[in-house]
Structure 1
Amino acid sequence: MGWFLAQYIWAFLAGSLFFNGLSYSYKAPMYTFIKEATFAPPILRYDYIVIGGGSCGCPLAATLSHGGEVLVLERGGSPYTNPEQIKINKFVHALVNTSSSSFSQQFISTDGVLNARARVLGGGSVLNAGFYSRASNRYISETGWNETLAESAYEWVENKVAFEPPIMQWQSAVRDGLLEAGVLPYNGFTFDHLYGTKVGGSIFDKEGHRHTAADLLEYAYPTRISVYLHATVQKILFKYNAEKNRPQAYGVIFKDALGIIHRAYISSNVKNEIIVSAGAIGSPQLLMLSGIGPAKHLKAHGIKVVLDQPLVGQGMADNPMNILFVPSPLPVELSLVQTVGITKNGSFIEAVSGLNLGLSWFDRLRGIFELVSNQSGLPHKFAPETMKSFANIIRSLDNSTLKGGVILEKIRGPRSTGHLELLTTNPNDNPSVTFNYFKDPEDLRMCVEGMKTIINVINSKAFSRFRYPNMSVQALIDWMLYVPVNFRPKHRNASFSLEQYCIDTVLTIWHYHGGCQYGKVVDHNYKVIGVEALRVIDGSTFYRSPGTNPQATVMMLGRYMGQKIIKKRLSQEEVK
């Protein structure tokens, strides 16, 4: 999944998993060009400054290094510091760790859904469930990407990070249940997005080692790239371009882990530029902090307006996810997302399985609640008292080992959108994000159809050995209404409907996007409209999430646009 399944559902996951892949022992890359920002000089100069070393920023920077000098500023640490911590059996720990050095930063949307942002080199690919699947041909065509170049960019990514997973008992049962439920045809193993049921790729290798977007830095020209970690960009610097009659980006201010300020500049060469690749939350936030956004909102925070752009922060969307947990009378393997059903009703069906619902996980979950309850700007309904009551519910739950798994549905799109606003001018703080889950009735219709498909899978003959015969699907649904999966009110006493179930139990699948949308905030070359020498290249430019899971396409986009930028640079040099 490009970014992730909701973390609190992964409570029961533990163990080990083996994947088909290359026969070698994993060895973490040793990059000489990755350093802590505390070692950066006070002033730096590069041809390209890439803000954010995430799923898009890493392949982008690696590609750009073959045409110029590249600086990458990543606010998080390195996944290679302790490679064991990102193995598949450490999935839960990496995902819900709330320490200051963790790879994720928790936040709650105003919709009452717990979410997270990546804070690590490699971005969401360091935290997600590893599913690798391309966008549909239609998506690529409608976005205006060159199909041949996109195909080669996907292959470039896949040669480093994508593997074919084995399909064991749980995933096989879900696969066969989907076919029995009519999600046809069976397309076998493929990276392609096709209607029916298929097995997708994984970024976990046969030994359970995660291969992240940071691995794509192996493609970089090592003497032309510098990556600084724990480098938090405070703002982008602008000057006035009289010839173009518009602002022009020329540098950035960033702080290292000790709070020391550094400045990085691009030279006056017209080919040089700053590229924001900080993700769907970070990119619109940084544009606003730098003075590009709705003028009234910026002025309210005391930010000097560089460009009044009311569309920055608009169009925020998150594909809603709804699930059913299915206890199993039989032991099941640990599996993350491998099988997917791509329905014509607009929903995607996926599954995970595993063991061990342990006290340590509940302690971490309670820590998340306590952490976010101390954040400024939380809506009144998420006040500390409310958060503590949820923590008490978590503490009271039975911590015994469970057997079983989760079957989930994610809807296509979505159509419902929201917005992002600043709460503070500190780039380390989370902004306020509203996704407006199910605001559009079509989204709710797709969720209901997806839940019906899940119910059919659970009731299928193929899946029968993994469910208790005396436990009805309605009992599973009722149980979910008592699990604190989000902070929305639960309508337990109302007459049952799948519509209300979708609304009450909605989770994030961490496939959020928007905020700097293509054609509104950036043009067809991902240049910020109305500004010189500044682009945004990442998922914040998307109108809808690509395919079933976006990570493959986000990584592809970095390679794709890197190639286009370098080709343009070289052609200009040839003309001269």
Structure 2
Amino acid sequence: MTDLQKTDFDYIVIGGGSAGAAVAARLSEDPTVEVALVEAGADDRGVDEVLQLDRWMELLESGYDWDYPIEPQENGNSFMRHSRAKVMGGCSSHNSCIAFWAPREDIDEWETRFGAEGWNSEMAFRLYKQLESNEDAGPDAPHHGADGPVKLMNVPPSDPCGVALLDACEQAGIPRTKFNTGQTVINGANFFQINRRPDGTRSSSSVSYIHPILERKNFTLLTGLRARELKFNDANHCTGVDVVDGQFARTHTLNARTEVILSAGAIDSPKLLMLSGIGPKEHLAEHGIEVRADSPGVGSNLQDHPEGVIQWEAKQPMTETSTQWWEIGIFTPTEDGLDRPDLMFHYGSVPFDMHTLRQGFPTTENGFCLTPNVTHARSRGTVRLRSRDFRDKPMVDPRYFTDPHDMRVMVYGIKKAREIISQPAMAEWAGRELYPGPDVQTDEEITEYITKTHNTVYHPAGSVRMGAYDDGMSPLDPQLRVKGVTGLRVADASVMPELTTVNPNITTMMIGERCAELVREARAASGADTAAAGAGV
């Protein structure tokens, strides 16, 4: 932990993850303001298992993982856990660094359907260009040659099983395509783009935004400090945060002269808001927490990408090297007339038996898998407090497959995976189907298998959504300001009104970029107002 020699700042960012690191770095570009970035986890510098992208699977359920269990599921796998990163960079230091621009339709919907004024694809695509460097996208891409901090690259086609899989996709009517060109891919497949540097270092938000600015005199990084409660004055203005030193269990108060930005993620941001008296009043009352702002949408609208798995033994030895072991994406619609795909697959060149082995399915040391996931699941869950003790893990209830749409897409996905792998191009690779196996064929049998064994792509979102100013179920306005108080914004995946079709990490960084712009605009407006008042205007 950085020594607490200073406790007063202009801006305090709580959470050094995908969005928080971007917010703090951009705000500290102004040398006239003092910015603190507060992270509960460890510094990532010098930690090879975090920095080296091909080691990401070691981080699941490790000391760098908050490892949140989920509540018992009526239609889903109650053994499932939500991995949330406990380290600088947040989930961008913990994930497989699959890098996607969201489809235009996703971001435009935030504005047109949910009332988040100003959040549209024109704004988002401008900020995608700003945050990344992506010469591999090709000369026709709208962001070719940009010089942002996050480095993107194409996964090289060096996995022969993966190349055969793409051939099989073409034989099944799913063509090879390019990702991140600015065009929405409804039906297509290819090796991913990933945010990784040439030496194998992940281009996480910490590596990209924070490592280069650690010597800035107006920037302070505080790790190992866990937020306990947001602080407010009598006018309900957020004045800072109480944090607990993880090493000595001492409480300190950090003071914000201007604003606090909460970037703790889709599980911990609603938790901290509720601990601070902002949330559904009935739920807060259950835990004896005084209501500061009755906000029923805090902790509601929780969304995710639920994921199934179908695994084969490989007839040939699988690759022993990889950028991150999950290198190909496949998109395809399950019905006609969609403007975005409702089904996505990740291809893994490694076994994935996290939830199948306990159910008695066979496994292998040499195999490959496809993991169908529902891009726009309609089931909605909640994040709730387990108690008023900040140390207790929250109650995370995704309510998987409570909307029948989601299981319909997943069942289709298992069948589509079999269709792809049955193509001639995979004949030299595809051995025995291990799970669900040839005995699981009917919709009912596949449904039972999915219910018992499904996982998640670890994409919780939407639990503190932004929306129209008069939308009582949107805790945030389109400026990311928390309704009912002042001096407090939220910037992370929790603000998404609807989860993106694709892996959302780059979009979460984009949210951080936009939040920094909104804060700077507010500061500039405040300065103009002060100057006008001083001039007697």
- The reply to whether TM is greater than 0.5 is yes
Relative to 1, partners in 2 of residues 1:538 and 1:191: Cα closer, same or farther, differing over 3 Å? farther
| Contact 2:105-2:121 at 8 Å conserved across structures | no
Q: CA deviation at 1:84?
A: 4.8
Give the distance between the partners of 1:298 and 1:190, measured in 2 at CA.
43
**Alignment match of 1:181 (pick from 172, 177, 181):** 172
Among 436, 451, 459, the alignment partner of 1:511 is 459
Distance 1:509 1:119 in 2: 18
Q: Contact 1:190–1:200 at 8 Å: present in 2 too?
A: no
Higher helix share: 1
1:532 corresponds to which of 480, 486, 499: 486
Q: Point out where structure 2 has 5 or more consecutive residues left out of the alignment.
A: 112-118, 134-149, 335-341, 468-473, 532-537
Matches within 5 A, 1:151-300: 151-159=125-133, 160-167=150-157, 168-184=159-175, 186-190=176-180, 192=182, 193-195=184-186, 196-215=188-207, 216-218=209-211, 220=213, 222-241=216-235, 247-257=236-246, 258-267=248-257, 272-300=258-286
Moved more, 420-429 or 454-463: 420-429
* 1:266 positional shift: 1.7
Q: What's 2:446 paired with?
A: 498
* Distance in 1 of aligned mates of 2:264 and 2:120: 24
Task: Measure how far apart 1:414 and its partner are.
Answer: 1.4
**Contact kept in structure 2, 1:110 and 1:432, CA below 8 Å:** no
- The answer to whether the 8 Å contact 1:73/1:229 transfers is yes
Partner of 1:50: 13
Letter in 2 for 1:314: S
The letter of the residue matching 1:309 is: S
Question: How much has 1:231 moved relative to structure 2?
Answer: 0.6
Aligned residues: 478
1:412-469 deviation per Cα after TM superposition (whole angstroms, max 9, x unaligned): 221100111111223232111111111112112211222222111111112222112x
**Structure 1 residues 227-236 or 424-433, which shifts more?**
424-433
3-state SS, counterpart of residue 497 of structure 1: helix
Which residue matches 1:121?
88
**What letter corresponds to residue 154 of structure 2 in structure 1?**
E
SS in 2 for 1:410: strand
- Cα distance change on mapping 1:293 and 1:190 into 2, 3 Å: closer
Contact 1:52 1:278 in 2 (8 A): yes
- Answer yes or no: is the 8 Å Cα contact 1:104–1:120 preserved in 2: no
SS at match of 1:223: coil
For 2:177 and 2:441, the matched residues in 1 are separated by: 42
Cα gap change, 1:252 to 1:131, in 2 (>3 Å): same
Percentage identity across paired residues of the two chains: 26
Residues 1:553 and 2:529 are matched in the alignment: no
Answer whether contact 2:39 2:226 (CA < 8 A) is retained. Answer: yes
Question: How far is the alpha carbon of 1:343 from its aligned partner?
Answer: 1.3
Cα deviation, residue 555, structure 1: 0.8
Mark the CA change 1:146 to 1:219 in structure 2 (over 3 Å): closer, same or farther. Answer: farther
Alignment root-mean-square deviation, CA: 2.7
2:327 paired with 1:338: yes
The counterpart of 1:350, out of the listed 335, 341, 346, is: 346
Which fold has the larger relative contact order, with Cα–Cα distance below 8 Å and residues 6 or more apart in sequence? 1
Task: Answer whether contact 1:105 1:119 (CA < 8 A) is retained.
Answer: no
Once residues 362 and 408 of structure 2 are traced to their aligned partners in structure 1, the CA distance between those partners, rounded to angstroms, is 34
Deviation per residue, 1:277-314 (Å, 9 max, x gap)? 10000000000111111222212222222112222111
Q: CA deviation at 1:263?
A: 0.8
Equivalent residues of 1:314, 1:515 under 8 A apart: yes
Secondary structure in 1 aligned to 2:424?
A: coil
Summarize the Cα distance change of 1:60–1:435 in structure 2 as closer, same or farther, 3 Å threshold.
same
Do residues 76 (structure 1) and 41 (structure 2) align?
yes
Q: Does the 8 Å contact 1:95/1:104 carry over to 2?
A: no
| Partner secondary structure for residue 314 of structure 1 | coil
Secondary structure at 1:443's aligned position in 2? Answer: helix
Equivalence for 1:484: none
- Report the equivalent of 2:495: 541
1:94 Cα deviation (Å)?
2.0
Give the Cα–Cα distance (whole angstroms) in 2 for the partners of residues 316 and 52 of structure 1: 19
Contact 2:269 2:494 in 1 (8 A): yes
Deviation at 1:407, TM superposition (A): 0.6
Cα shift at 1:83? 2.7
Judged with a 3 Å threshold, the aligned counterparts in structure 2 of structure 1 residues 442 and 129 are, in CA distance, closer, same or farther, namely same
Post-superposition shift, 1:397? 9.2
Relative to 1, partners in 2 of residues 1:493 and 1:461: Cα closer, same or farther, differing over 3 Å?
Answer: closer
Decide which of 452, 477, 502 is 2:436's aligned counterpart.
477
Unaligned ranges ≥5, structure 1? 1-35, 242-246, 370-389, 482-491
Q: Distance in 2 between matches of 1:191 and 1:276?
A: 32
Shift of 1:493: 12
Whether the 8 Å contact between 1:63 and 1:219 is mirrored in structure 2 is no
**How far 1:173 sits from its partner (Å)?**
2.1
Greater displacement, 561-570 / 46-55: 561-570
Measure, in 1, the Cα distance between the counterparts of 2:366 and 2:490.
44
Contact kept, 8 Å, 2:109 with 2:120, in 1: the verdict is no
After superposition, the Cα gap between the structure-2 partners of 1:496 and 1:313, relative to the gap in structure 1 and judged at 3 Å, is closer
Query: Residue in 2 aligned with 1:27?
Result: none
SS at match of 1:140: helix
**Aligned-partner Cα distance in 2 for 1:342–1:508:** 17
Supply the AA of the counterpart residue of 1:213. S
Q: Secondary structure at the match of 1:282?
A: helix
Instruction: Note the alpha carbon deviations across 1:133-178, whole angstroms, 9 max, x for none.
Output: 1100111222232544422321233223322110221221222222
